[in-house]
Each structure stands twice: as C-alpha cells, then as structure tokens.
Amino acid sequence: MIEKLLRTLHSKECEIYYIKDGQRFALAECNARLEISSQQERLPLLGNRSMVLKHYLTIAVCDDMNLKEEVDASFLKTISKIEIAMFLQRRDGKQERFMFSNMTPIEIVLDGEWTFEIIEDYALIRRLLAEF
C-alpha cells in the first residue's frame, strides 16, 4: 500500500463543539491542521495496473486548546458527537468557514493532540485541493 500526503492546511481559528442530548455546546478554541491524504493499493486479481484509491481528511487539533469544559474520559463517554468548525484561507486570500461533523475519532490524548478522520467526502477533497 502506498500512502501519500497531498496537502496540509492550517487554521488558527478553530472551534470544537460537542453534541449531548441533541444539543450543541462549545468545548474549545484552538489551532488545527487539516491533512488531505490518499492511499493506493494494487489489486493483482484485476490486472497489473489495477488499484484501489482512497482519499481521506485527517484533522489534528493541536494541544494548545482553550477548553471551556473539563475534559476527561468520563466526560467523553457522555457525549454523542464532536464537531469542528474552522476557517481556512483560500488561494485568493479569503477565509472560508468549514464545519466538519462526519468524523471518526482516531486518537484523543487528553493533555495533547486530538486526531479525527473523514473518509470518502470526494467533493470536499476535490474542492480543498483545487481552491486551498
């Protein structure tokens, strides 16, 4: 399998929200890094040139979070979802706000970096590669 990092985008205006009992609450303000990656895997059964290509986004929330709630393992068990809103700078210099809600947590280090993954949102990935 071949994994490629296609682009890294940084946001200094990132907000983390959590969903609990159907309501959204602010959790933190922070800096974040958005990485656009691809994985290629050859499938010899389909011929020498056949491969499966998967694109995904990784959002890493840096460990300089300004938390509005105390976060520990018991708190994380009570929430149903985490959402991240961030501003990204386009190539034309304008800032655009994105809201990421369809994320899978990869790793949450309570006193460090939080990492989430978004898989197969091809329209968003194509747009980020073209405009940012």
Residue 132, pLDDT > 90, answer: yes
Could you tell me which residues are beta bridge partners of residue 75? none
Residue 31: Cβ-neighbour burial (10 angstroms; 0-12, 13-18, 19+): middle
User: What tokens were used for 36?
Assistant: 């656009």
What pLDDT, on the 0 to 100 scale, is given for residue 46? 61
Q: CA neighbours within 13 Å on the CB side: how many for 100? A: 29
**Where do we find the tokens 């309501």?**
23
Q: What percent of the chain stands above pLDDT 70? A: 94
Residue 107, pLDDT > 70, answer: yes
Residue 22, pLDDT > 80, answer: yes
pTM: predicted TM-score of the whole model, two decimal places: 0.85
